Amino acid sequence: MNSKILHLIGGGADIGTSRTFWIGFIIVVILFALYPIQVSEFRASNAAYYLLNIPLGLGMALLWGYCGVLSFGHVAYFGIAGYTYGIIAGNMVGNSFGLIAGVIGGLLASTLVAGVFAYFVFYARVREWIIPILTLVLTILLETFLGQTAGYQWRVGSVLLGGYNGMTGIPSIQIGSFVFMGYSFYYLCLIIVLVCYVALRMLLNSNFGQVVIAIREDPLRTEMFGYDIRARKWLVFVLSAVLASISGLLYVQWGNYITPSQVGLLSAALPVIWASVGGRSSLLAVIIATLILNWVNFTLSAQGNQYAMVIIGTALVITMLFFPRGIVVMTAEWIGKFTNRSNNEATH
């Protein structure tokens, strides 16, 4: 039983299966856990921002890297979850169920939209390029819609949608009188990221995950083994939308606001870039890329750098041209080859 679980966690669906890897992994997790002790609350909060984007990136890896379905519009589910949480929690301030209702409502709303959308594209068996296009259109329309909701008439209960200025004053999650912010919010994000990573790794090493990978490798062959690949793709799409929603829910906790630009074209590009630069077929590589690129982006835009988008675009083009499997993954492969060779030389 125990060994089965260990096999699910440690199986070959992601890079890193050796003992050395897992020791390194645990050390890094401990370092992350110790990080807030050495820095100010402000910097811990910035780091929490990098962490909270990881589920969105993992959703991208799951969908594109492991299932072969590309979405350019997963930020739509990030946004839908964030806005829905804001509306529900904002209307139930003071009610002890308000926050949890907001979380559930946010997840349900984005699951519903993703489910309906995915039903249409997957059950129609459309060509693979149609899905990224339509997801992009969906998120652009969402941005346009939210952008024109300025003014008092766009009010749900007591919450204003706020047009391009966005929704403000979104309440933070709290348990009793304990509010997650600063250091505690950092730990909340860290735990959620760890849970998402381990759960996904288990899922992908399970039979379900192996079939998902088989669908990526050859959809027709897999279907001719009797698998309903439409249903599997649908489920994976919805699951990745849920991951995007988790990021959306954490985001509105972090800043207590959300704006339409979170579902705009530039934001939509980001998860695709994290997945490409890291290497979409590895969860861990996408996590690393998400952390580093968010840090770079945050630092650049904090300095008011106008080149941010040019840099991101160039990074994407260069990665696609020269590192088709992702920079992190190809580096890992290179290290693997290098250590193998030195092992061989040692034994000779």
Which residues of the shown chain bind another protein in the complex (CB under 8 A)?
64, 68, 70, 72, 117, 120-121, 123-130, 132-134, 136-138, 140-141, 144-145, 148, 207, 210-211, 213-214, 217-218, 220-229, 265-266, 269, 272, 276, 306-310, 312-317, 320-321, 324
Contact 232, 215 (CB under 8 A): yes
* CB of 72 or CB of 251, closer to another protein: 72
Structure token pair of residue 166: 């966005």
Query: Which letter, b or e, does each residue of 209-231 get, where b requires 16 or more Cβ atoms within 10 Å of its Cβ?
Result: beebbbbbeebeebeeeebebbe
* CB of 141 or CB of 335, closer to another protein: 141
Q: Residue 59's closest CA among 288, 202, 246, 192?
A: 246
User: Could you tell me the smallest distance in angstroms from the CB atom of residue 140 to another protein?
Assistant: 5
* CB of 5 or CB of 310, closer to another protein: 310
Contact 282, 329 (CB under 8 A): yes
Whole-angstrom CA distances from 226 to 37, 49, 78, 222, 230 are 53, 43, 34, 7, 12
User: Could you tell me the smallest distance in angstroms from the CB atom of residue 221 to another protein?
Assistant: 4
* CB of 313 or CB of 336, closer to another protein: 313
User: Could you tell me the smallest distance in angstroms from the CB atom of residue 284 to another protein?
Assistant: 19
User: Could you tell me the smallest distance in angstroms from the CB atom of residue 322 to another protein?
Assistant: 10
* CB of 190 or CB of 229, closer to another protein: 229
Q: Which residue has the tokens 């193998």?
A: 340
Determine the residue type at 281: S
User: Could you tell me the smallest distance in angstroms from the CB atom of residue 55 to another protein?
Assistant: 21
* CB of 67 or CB of 103, closer to another protein: 67
Bridge partner list, 318: none
User: Could you tell me the smallest distance in angstroms from the CB atom of residue 141 to another protein?
Assistant: 6
User: Could you tell me the smallest distance in angstroms from the CB atom of residue 95 to another protein?
Assistant: 33
Determine the residue type at 178: F
Gap between the Cα atoms of 95 and 84, Å rounded: 17
Contact 200, 59 (CB under 8 A): no
Gap between the Cα atoms of 45 and 178, Å rounded: 17
CA angle 232–236–237, rounded 5-degree value = 115
